Amino acid sequence: MTVAVYPGSFDPVTYGHLDIVERASRVFDRLIVAVLINRSKTPLFTVEERVALLKEATKHLANVEVDSFTGLLVEYMRRRGARAIVKGLRAVTDFEYEMQMALINKNLDPSIETFFMMTSKEYSFLSSSIVKEVARYGGRVDDLVPPCVVEALRRRFADPGGPIEFC
């Protein structure tokens, strides 16, 4: 069984992320969408909130699991029995950074392979940062993120310190 990991911050998950998740879930036997816990960043949503939003958005995919991790990706992959990393690419600038990461991961564990997937053209402009910026100023993001994320963004910006109740 081929287990792959799709790592990221997913703050929040977008339709671009889900495009990669759905396509990768058709390629690999099992796909773990892994939320990276990065202590140096201040995300809009907590790790628990991001995991919950991803679980809601991927519940229709039987071979997709959502998890979180901290530390080195290759160590997490060893613990989970995964041998493949899935990375979504939007532009050439994404490739430059992701190629460096793929090479360092290969150096740390030669048995791990990285698979790059180009995002579908309708999502090539989309990023979590853009979604947060549009939502922060009351713009419509319904066509950029799943309904549960639209609601979570609305609630977060209405009450920045308040809890997010999920769909």
Q: Has 128 been annotated as catalytic? A: yes
Q: Is 10 annotated as a binding residue?
A: yes
Q: Has 17 been annotated as catalytic? A: yes
Q: Is 39 annotated as a binding residue?
A: no
Q: Is 9 annotated as a binding residue?
A: yes
Q: Is 128 annotated as a binding residue?
A: yes
List 25, 128, 132, 156, catalytic entry = 128
Q: Is 60 annotated as a binding residue?
A: no
Q: Is beta strand 113-118 parallel, antiparallel or unpaired with respect to 84-89?
A: parallel
List 17, 50, 132, 156, catalytic entry = 17
Q: Is 127 annotated as a binding residue?
A: yes
Q: Which amino acid is at 142?
A: D
List 83, 90, 106, 155, catalytic entry = 90
Closest CA to 8 of 61, 63, 73, 56: 73
List 26, 39, 41, 121, catalytic entry = 41
Q: Is 124 annotated as a binding residue?
A: yes
Q: Is 73 annotated as a binding residue?
A: yes
Q: Residues forming the annotated binding site for ATP?
A: 9-10, 17, 88-90, 98, 123-129
Q: Residues forming the annotated binding site for substrate?
A: 9, 41, 73, 87
The catalytic residues are 17, 41, 90, 128
Q: Residues forming the annotated binding site?
A: 9-10, 17, 41, 73, 87-90, 98, 123-129
